[in-house]
Amino acid sequence: MKKRILVTGGAGFLGSHLCRRLLNEGNEVICLDNFFTGAKENILDLVPHPYFELVRHDVQEPILLEVDEIYNLACPASPPYYQFDPVATTRTSVLGAINMLDIARKCKAKILQASTSEVYGDPEVHPQPESYRGNVSTTGIRACYDEGKRCAETLFFDYQRQYGVEIKIVRIFNTYGPYMNPYDGRVVSNFIVQSLKGEDITIYGDGKQTRSFQYVDDLIEGMIRLMNTKDGFTGPVNIGNPNEFTMIELAQKVIRLTDSKSKLIYMPLPEDDPLQRQPIIELAKKELDWEPIIKLEDGLKKTIEYFDKLIKKEG
Residues with a known catalytic role: 145
DSSP strand pairing (244-246 vs 210-212): antiparallel
Residues paired with 212 in a beta bridge? 244
The sign of the CA dihedral 299, 292, 131, 101 is positive
E strand residue ranges, the chain: 4-8, 28-33, 52-56, 69-72, 110-116, 167-172, 175-176, 201-204, 210-212, 214-215, 237-239, 244-246, 264-267
Cα gap 171→279, rounded to integer Å: 9
- Amino acid 161 reads R
Spatial contact of 247 and 267, defined as CB atoms under 8 Å apart:
no
DSSP strand pairing (201-204 vs 175-176): unpaired
Spatial contact of 128 and 120, defined as CB atoms under 8 Å apart:
yes
CB atoms within 10 A of CB 81: 18
Cα gap 240→219, rounded to integer Å: 7
Could you tell me the end-to-end alpha-carbon distance of the chain, in angstroms, rounded to an integer? 46
